[in-house]
Amino acid sequence: MCIIADKYDIKHLKARAIDLFTAAAKGKAKTSEFAGAASQAYEASTVTRGICDAIVTIGVEEKALSSTSGADSALRKIMEATPESAVDYATFLEGYPKRLSKAAHRLEKRFCCPSCDHEFVCEVPPASIFCFWCGREQMIDVWLRHISAE
């Protein structure tokens, strides 16, 4: 359905096909059915970018290529057979930490307490940070001047 929608430039049908595929594939990234769908998507004469993006996103979110999946995982074999899928995974994973931090709207920083010099990691931006070692609380602008080198 997605290939036909892509061929005839029917955006709503393509979006619907991608949504249906994503809903059906959730929770199945480590199955042979998911690997079969990935194989068909990447080996199609006209590769549909939306489906391939959904395959990569689901595969990463469900850790289908983790070390616990084993070297003989079906998805890993697909990546070996179709280099384009491996490139898609690498491209996705390259920016993955940035997407996670933007989604969470938080950042971890290592601070050195201005009162007792004890170092610890804290998520920012709270309004103020409390040092558990000396018991002093400072506003975030004071703490930002005391970021430790990692």
d(CA 109, CA 123): 6
**Global pTM exceeds 0.85:** no
Give every residue of the chain whose pLDDT is below 70, as ranges: 45, 47, 66-72, 96-108, 122-133, 140, 143-144, 146-150
CB 40 within 8 A of CB 21: no
Cα 110 from chain centroid (whole Å): 24
